[in-house]
Structure formats: C-alpha cells, structure tokens
C-alpha cells in the first residue's frame, strides 16, 4: 500500500528530472565508434553537446544500400548549412563492419572523425539501434524461412515499403518546385572518382562543375530538380558503389539473419538546450530518405 502511495511522487520526480536523461528511444542503446573501437551510448550522444545546441544522428542501413549511400551523400553536402542552424555535432550509424563503413565514406567523400572530419562514424552490424529508434524492418521481417533477398525484391515493388516506387519514379520525372542541390555535388564526386555514368556534368581541371547537362533540357531544364538527374545519380551509385564494391560492403551472415538487408533507416535532430526533438524521420521505403531541405526549413538559422 505504501508503495502505491509513493508511485505518483516517483513519477513526478522522474518527469522533473527528464532533462538529465538520455534521448529516450535510444537510452542505453550503443553503437561502436570506428575511430576508437569503443561503444557509444546513442541516447547520451544526442543529449550531450559541449560545442553547441543541436546534434544530428543518422541511423543508416547496410553499407551497400541505396539509403545508406544517399544519407552519406546528403549529409556531406548539407553539413555547412546545418551548422549555420546550430547543429554542431553529427553522427552516422551504419549496419556493417568497420571496414565496410570506412569504404563507403571514402567512396562518397564524407568527412568523418576517422580522417579528422566532423562526422562521428559508428557501426551497428545487426541494426539493433535502428530498430530501437523505430525504423521500418521491411516486408515479412518475421518470416525466418523466406530468403532475405526475396524479401528485398518484394520491397522494390513497395511491399512493406510503400514509398519505394514514388521515390524511384520521382528520380525520373523530377520536381519543378523543390530543389535538391546535393544531387549535383554527389554526381560530381562520382565523376571525380571515375564512376559511370559520367556524362551528366562537365568538370574543369580542378574538379568543379562548369556545365550541368540536365539544365540544358528543353523546358524542364529550368525545373528545381530536373528529370533524370536523380535517376542518373542512383544509377551511378548502384553500378559503381553498390555492385562494384558488393563484396566489401555487403552484410555478413549474422547481419542477414538479423534482418538488416530489408531494414530501413532514419534520422533525428535533437536540441539539448530545449530537451526536445526538432526533426525526426523514419524512411517509408527504399530511396525514401529524409529530405534535408525540410530539415533546413524546420531548423532556423542561429
């Protein structure tokens, strides 16, 4: 009886002390730092920021996956704008081993702490952190008999990942209203690294873009995101990142058994001064990662 009487006071005390707790969905959930080989509590990683107000954490997928590649490419491009908004701490968790994580960030030129960059690179080979965060686990995730590759094939048609087809089709038809400047940057990185297709942009001797061929398309070349532009980048990613480097980037057997082949990703921006999430996203499909332009709109410049 006495414990029942004390319960309301206990709950009240927990509420009042909430600001000192870790970010709840990831409290006690760890990923391993590639640089230090030590476990990092992701809840505390989001809540503790000595250098500023806000922290951004990307819960990626396995290293050869479209979503992991695009998160890394987008983060590379948008980091300066995000920093203007008080986001001074960045982390990315990939569902792979350390060598695969290092390979991916090298392929996309993402500046991580393993090479004196700003992004803390972490790994979670079996994808536990993403599942705790609440990312989608894909089609028939509880079916232990079905091949994970067959499940992934079904997801390409929207099974268990409804936004896959709209995201893929959108890469072909473009968008006249919303710019996605990261696409040109990522494609230029690919061309500098000799990836194919390489005819969408012309670069000078310094590797800077001097001509975007998609802007020369009749009528639609004036759109904010030109038709075929994103689809061309995704073809470049598929051929010369995912397929060409499959042996180095593919998930290991224990990761396949844990379901990472079909697991989706997400991201969160946390403001430690307000003890609040200011942006949160969980991928609803393959290629349907967070739109960083929406993050810029949501988080004002400081």
- For 234-287, how does the pLDDT look when each residue is reduced to its tens digit (9 = 90+)? 999 999 999 999 999 999 999 999 999 999 999 999 999 999 999 999 999 999
Which range, of 19-33, 161-175, 217-231, averages the lowest pLDDT?
19-33
Average per-residue pLDDT in the chain?
93
Average pLDDT over residues 166-175: 97
Which residues are paired to 279 by β-bridges?
A: 269
Q: What are phi and psi of 33, to 5 degrees?
A: -70, 130
CA 127 to CA 144: how far, in whole Å?
17
The answer for residues whose C-beta is within 8 angstroms of residue 210's C-beta and 6 or more apart is: 202, 203, 204
Which residues are paired to 280 by β-bridges?
A: 268
CA 286 to CA 263: how far, in whole Å?
9
Condensed to tens digits (0 to 9), the pLDDT of residues 222-241 reads 999 999 999 999 999 999 99
CA 80 to CA 73: how far, in whole Å?
13
Please classify residue 297 by burial: count the beta carbons closer than 10 Å to its beta carbon, then call 0-12 exposed, 13-18 middle and 19+ buried: exposed
What pTM value is reported for the model?
A: 0.92
pLDDT bin (cut points 50, 70, 90) of residue 161 is very high
């Amino acid at each position: 009886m006495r414990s029942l009487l004390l319960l309301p006071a206990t709950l009240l005390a927990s509420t009042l002390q909430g600001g000192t707790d870790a970010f709840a969905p990831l409290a006690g959930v760890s990923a391993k730092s590639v640089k230090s080989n030590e476990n990092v509590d992701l809840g505390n990683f989001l809540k503790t920021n000595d250098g500023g107000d806000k922290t951004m954490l990307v819960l990626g997928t396995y290293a050869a996956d479209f979503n992991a590649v695009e998160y890394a490419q987008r983060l590379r491009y948008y980091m300066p704008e995000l920093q203007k908004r008080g986001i001074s701490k960045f982390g990315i968790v990939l569902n792979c081993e350390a060598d695969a994580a290092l390979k991916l960030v090298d392929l996309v030129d993402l500046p991580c702490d393993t090479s004196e960059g700003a992004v803390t690179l972490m790994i979670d080979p079996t994808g536990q952190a993403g599942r705790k965060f609440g990312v989608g686990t894909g089609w028939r995730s509880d079916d232990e008999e079905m091949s994970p590759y067959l499940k992934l094939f079904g997801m390409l048609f929207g099974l268990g990942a409804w936004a896959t087809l709209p995201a893929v089709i959108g890469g072909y038809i473009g968008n006249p209203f919303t710019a996605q400047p990261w696409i040109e940057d990522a494609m230029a990185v690919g061309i500098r690294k000799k990836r194919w297709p390489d005819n969408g942009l012309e670069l000078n001797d310094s590797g800077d873009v001097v001509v975007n061929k998609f802007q020369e398309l009749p009528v639609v070349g004036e759109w904010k995101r030109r038709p075929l532009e994103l689809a061309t980048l995704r073809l470049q990613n598929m051929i010369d990142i995912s397929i060409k480097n499959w042996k180095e980037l593919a998930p290991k057997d224990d990761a396949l058994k844990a379901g990472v082949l079909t697991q989706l990703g997400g991201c969160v921006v946390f403001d430690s001064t307000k003890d609040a999430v200011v942006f949160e996203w969980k991928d609803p499909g393959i290629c349907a990662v967070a739109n960083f332009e929406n993050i810029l709109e949501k988080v004002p410049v400081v």
